[in-house]
Every structure is written in structure tokens, then in C-alpha cells.
């Protein structure tokens, strides 16, 4: 009887039969094609992003107000002839007058100092410094990258989050920041830090070193902006979100 009932049951439609056979063969959830997935790397942790933007704003104010302070006495004392070495246009300065420029400068120097210290401490404690610190093994890679950026040479293969030229630039800014901070302390409190002024060659030479640190930052900024433009929107957006889409070094 059972065999007769089985025979009487109508055969499933062809579409259903094919679907049932397909379900028996295919897994319950089809895996996505790895090639279709968007790769991303978490390059910039939150402390790095915050300190980056705080330092960027602070540096703009410090340079503009510092140039206004320099206009009050555009020389470096007896070691260099006391004459107008540079006539800085007022339109490039901030503060309006010496007193106003000093207020801007003294306010943002604390933001710059605290943010810079937090940045360096976080880099060391987290081990993130390994991605951006320039070391002797990076020296051979500097010229190929400079040739690519500035002379349209072939692009060397990406081996890490930062290329050797970027590492050199970012490590240099840390040195410029340390120099600006130490010389700035002397200029801010010359009597209390006379021993530090002595190490820099005296008060007048401390002003020279402080000015040199600013020139270092001014040399860094255009190159940094050029790199941001050349590396595209994904590179800029990573400093906002922390994530970079399709990093070249993960190909």
C-alpha cells in the first residue's frame, strides 16, 4: 500500500526539484568573494588624530603670532648685525601688535606643548612609533621616494604605513617641536632657565634656534600637504576616521 501511495504522489515541479537539489549541494550561507571585500587598515588611533589636529591649529597660530613678535625686533642681537633681516608683511602675522601677539603665542604654546608631549608618550607606550620613526635602514629609500614625488620617477613598492621620506619628515617634526619647546621656555622665562640658555649658546642664539625650529616647520608643511594631495582622499580621511581604505602596503 505504501508503495502505491508513493507512486500516486505527483512529482515536484522542475523548478522546485532543481532548487531542492541545489540546496542539498550548496552550503547554507554562501561565502562572499574575498576579491569583493573592501580592505581597510586602522592607521591612526584616536589620540594620534586628536593631537594631530590640535598641533596643526596651534602651529598655525604660533607661527603667525611668532612672526608678529619677530617684527618688533627683526634681528638676533649682537651675534648678528642688528638690522632688519626680514621684513615680514603684517598680513602674514597675528595679534595686531606686540602685546596681542604675545597673548596669542603664550596661550597656544601650552596647547602645543601638552599635545606634543601626549603625542610622543602615546607613540612610545603604544608602540605605534615603529610605523613612523625614521631609522638608518630607511636611508636608502629616501631618494627613490623624493625622485617619485618631485621628479616624476617610478613609484617604489609600498612596504609599510609610511614610506622612508614620510618617516624622515615626521621624525624631523618631532625634533623641531622639541627644539621649539626648549628654546621657547628660555625665551618665556630667561632668568629661571638661564642654564638652558647657556646650553643653547646664550639668549641671543636661543632666539636663532627658536627661529630655525619655525623655519623647519615651514619647510615641512608644504611637503606634507603635497604628500596628502598625491596620496588622495583616502589618506586625508584616515586622519579623520582612523581607517584607511585599500592601503597599498596590504596588497
Residue with cell 617610478: 154
Closest of 186, 189, 188, 215 to residue 203, by C-alpha:
186
**Tens of pLDDT along 124-159?**
999 999 999 999 999 999 999 889 888 888 888 878
Residue 161's pLDDT is 84
Compute φ and ψ for 243, nearest 5 degrees: -100, 140
> How far apart are the C-alpha atoms of 144 and 171, rounded to whole Å?
18
Instruction: Please state, in angstroms and as integers, the Cα–Cα distance from residue 90 to each residue in 71, 93, 212, following that order.
Output: 9, 5, 20
All structural domains of the chain with their residue ranges: 51-79+98-250
The pLDDT value recorded for residue 126 is 94
Phi, psi (deg, nearest 5) at residue 190: -65, -35
- Residue 18: its pLDDT value, please? 45
**What pLDDT score was predicted for residue 9?**
53
Q: pTM for the complete prediction?
A: 0.77
pLDDT of amino acid 82: 63
Residue 142 and residue 162: Cα distance in Å, rounded?
Answer: 12
Low-confidence ranges of the chain (pLDDT < 50): 1-2, 5-7, 17-36
Sign of CA dihedral 195, 199, 200, 205: positive
Burial letters 68-102, b for 16+ CB under 10 A, else e: bbbbeeebbeeeeeeeeeeebeeeebbbeeeeebb
Locus of grid cell 596681542: 100
C-alpha cell belonging to residue 119:
603625542
DSSP alpha helix (H) spans, the chain: 2-8, 14-25, 46-72, 98-126, 142-151, 164-188, 194-199, 203-231, 233-241
Give pLDDT, residue 28.
39
Per CATH, the homologous superfamily of domain 51-79+98-250 is Transmembrane di-heme cytochromes, Chain C (1.20.950.20)
Amino acid at each position: 500500500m505504501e508503495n502505491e501511495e508513493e507512486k500516486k504522489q505527483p512529482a515536484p515541479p522542475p523548478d522546485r526539484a532543481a532548487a531542492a537539489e541545489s540546496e542539498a549541494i550548496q552550503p547554507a550561507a554562501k561565502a562572499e568573494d574575498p576579491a569583493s571585500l573592501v580592505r581597510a587598515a586602522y592607521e591612526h588611533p584616536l589620540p594620534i588624530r586628536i593631537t594631530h589636529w590640535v598641533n596643526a591649529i596651534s602651529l598655525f597660530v604660533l607661527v603667525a603670532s611668532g612672526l608678529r613678535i619677530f617684527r618688533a625686533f627683526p634681528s638676533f642681537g649682537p651675534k648678528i648685525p642688528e638690522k632688519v633681516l626680514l621684513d615680514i608683511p603684517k598680513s602674514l602675522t597675528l595679534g595686531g601688535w606686540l602685546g596681542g601677539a604675545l597673548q596669542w603665542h603664550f596661550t597656544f604654546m601650552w596647547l602645543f606643548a601638552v599635545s606634543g608631549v601626549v603625542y610622543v608618550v602615546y607613540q612610545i607606550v603604544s608602540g605605534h612609533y615603529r610605523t613612523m620613526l625614521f631609522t638608518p635602514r630607511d636611508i636608502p629609500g629616501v631618494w627613490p621616494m623624493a625622485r617619485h614625488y618631485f621628479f616624476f620617477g617610478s613609484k617604489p613598492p609600498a612596504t609599510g604605513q609610511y614610506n622612508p621620506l614620510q618617516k624622515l619628515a615626521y621624525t624631523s617634526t618631532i625634533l623641531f617641536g622639541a627644539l621649539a619647546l626648549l628654546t621657547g621656555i628660555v625665551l618665556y622665562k630667561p632668568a629661571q632657565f638661564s642654564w638652558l640658555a647657556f646650553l643653547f649658546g646664550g639668549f641671543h642664539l636661543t632666539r636663532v634656534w627658536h627661529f630655525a625650529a619655525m623655519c623647519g616647520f615651514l619647510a615641512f608643511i608644504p611637503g606634507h600637504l603635497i604628500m596628502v594631495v598625491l596620496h588622495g582622499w583616502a589618506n586625508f580621511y584616515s586622519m579623520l576616521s582612523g581607517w584607511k581604505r585599500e592601503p597599498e602596503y596590504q596588497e
